[in-house]
Structure 1
Amino acid sequence: MTQAPSDPVSGPEPTAWRDWSELAAAECVKVPGADDDKYTRGVLGVVTGSAEFPGAAVLGVEAAVRTGLGMVRYLGPRRPSRLVLQARPEVVTVAGRVQAWLIGSGMNSATRTESAGELLAHALDDGTPVVIDAGALDLVGRVTGPAVLTPHAGELATLLTAAGFEVDRRAIAAEPERWAETAADSTGCVVLLKGRVTHVCSPLRDGVRTAARIEAPSSWAATAGSGDVLGGVVGAVVATHADEAGDPARLVALAATGAYVHAWAADRASNRGPIAALDIAAAVPRIIARLASGSAD
């Protein structure tokens, strides 16, 4: 079985993990200009949700729309599509050009339908930047363009075990930086490992790795559907900067900004009390406005 590199003498230099700041996040927020239209502002294609988990589609789309882009195209089963349109009638449900994809939220690889598999394959095969969550993580080997993987510790354990590593959820939670780096190197993708402290890193290339940490101000965001909201935020940020996503360092910055926005939207929504996932999405525009203006609240 494969083991992650751990020799501090002969291995690469330890990664310098950067604590992602409000200023760093502000540099990744795109404010529309006078000449922008819905296409130049970014179009996110979304393949999420299923008959079992239709709400994931609504949560991800809701978050993406509120993060600030030009259009969302949702492609999925009939029931999630109906719920998405009921919540966000501006969403387009036919295929067309996109600048980035969000796939996998609310899907189960074990019960994936043929039609869902075809939609996922289309998103992975066209070379467009893609944010891969939950039920599409098993398809990482099909990635043809820049990609961000967004697993929690359990999903990352499954991914790494399939790749031949001896690791479980508890081990990943104990050493998240080590295993995020291992996953990035193993897959060749940027990895966003979700948690109270979220870790985002790029694969090691020519001795260089970019890595960022985002510490949430509280754990109230640990609630059902919160990860689906995160996927929508990250997907939207990537879609608005799709021309920069080919640079792994920049892709880390975009993903880290999505995690930052999500963490602070949850804090704003909670006001030190319990929240639901849709509450987080509803608070996203206020965080984007703060970052865009650079002004104190």
Structure 2
Amino acid sequence: MAKPRRWLEWAGAQARDWIAVPQATDDKYSRGVLGVRTGSTEYPGAAVLGVEAASRTGVGMLRYLGPRRVSALVLARRPEIVTADGRVQAWLLGSGMNAAARSRETTAKLEAALTQDLPTVIDAGALDLVGVGAGAKVITPHYRELAALLSRSGDTVTAAEIAGQPGEWAIRAAGQLGVTVLLKGSVTYLASPSGIRLTVSGATPWLATAGSGDVLAGILGALLATNAARIDADADALAAVAATAVVLHGAAAALASGGGPIVALDIAEAVPASIAALLA
């Protein structure tokens, strides 16, 4: 895709081109298989929310690989999820994890996924592993997480400074870290190392609720799996896919809200209707 010199607002008109609509010849494998390593005993709900959102975004199969108790909760909500390891087209890693409390075993499993060099969403408790592997990666930090990540790289910055110039810091992080950056906020900024600059705005303020980011990560993971071939052919496609996830997330929140309060699960449950409306 062309590399805009200025920020380009991404909306439904652009996003619909990145929704993979199944054909009569498709099966669950050709529709994309997403691998998920998220959640922890402390934050099991993040895994449930991410899996729920990914399942409703149109992925053909989802492999959840996490702690036994978390797997049980995921299966109780979504019995069609596969908990056996196997081939995947993309990964979702880190939601609901705490890097400081992560076990060596969990770290090794996250690193093993990253070294497969598949399109990968790196969220929350896996952000410190951004430098592992050479595949197409998109990170999904909020201001505080990006400040901590850049500070570890030797760039002293505060969350307040990033909030003051989010676009500039998204660009800087993409160049410094060599990954696509999805910087969450009232306006979401997306920047790639090659110079893609996209924004998504207009989301309902009701979207600022616990677990909303886990839902976004799930939507994004599913879109990476269903667009894996396009991303492999053109690394710049990753930014378009990430922006499309933000558009869907906002549309689902607006539909679920109807002008009133929502919780994260409401957003995930509204994703299929939002996709249908977008395609229509």
1:261 aligns with 2:248: yes
Per the alignment, residue 50 of structure 2 pairs with: 60
SS in 1 for 2:138: strand
Structure of greater Rg = 1
Which secondary structure does the structure 1 equivalent of 2:200 belong to?
Answer: strand
Equivalent position SS for 1:230 = helix
C-alpha distance in structure 2 between counterparts of 1:80 and 1:227, whole Å: 18
The more displaced of 99-108 and 240-249 is 240-249
CA displacement at 1:118 relative to structure 2: 2.2
The equivalent position to 2:38 in structure 1, one of 24, 48, 52, is: 48
> Aligned residue for 1:228?
214
Matched-pair contact (CA < 8 Å) for 1:129–1:145 = yes
Aligned structure 1 segments of 4 or more residues deviating by more than 4 angstroms: none
* Post-superposition CA distance 1:143-191 (Å, at most 9, x none): 3200000001100000011111121101111101000001100111000
- Choose from 88, 97, 114 the match for 2:78: 88
Local SS of the residue matching 2:130: helix
Q: CA RMSD in A?
A: 1.1
Q: How far, CA to CA, are the matches of 1:143 and 1:261 in structure 2?
A: 28
**Mapped pair 1:242 → 2:232:** no
> 1:279: which partner in 2?
266
Identity score, percent: 55
Calculate the TM-score normalised by the size of structure 2: 0.96
Where structure 2 has 5 or more consecutive residues not aligned to the other structure, the ranges are none
Amino acid corresponding to residue 54 of structure 2 in structure 1? A
User: Which of 72, 84, 104 is 2:94 aligned to?
Assistant: 104
In structure 2, the residue matched to 1:191 is: 181
Helix, strand or coil at the partner of 2:190:
strand
1:219 to partner: Cα distance: 1.0
Q: Which residue of 2 aligns with 1:4?
A: none
1:215 aligns with 2:201: yes
Query: TM-score, with normalisation over the residues of structure 1?
Result: 0.91
| Offset at residue 216 of structure 1 (A) | 3.2
| AA aligned opposite 2:161 | A
**Runs (5+) with no aligned partner, structure 1:** 1-13
Matched with 1:251 is: 238
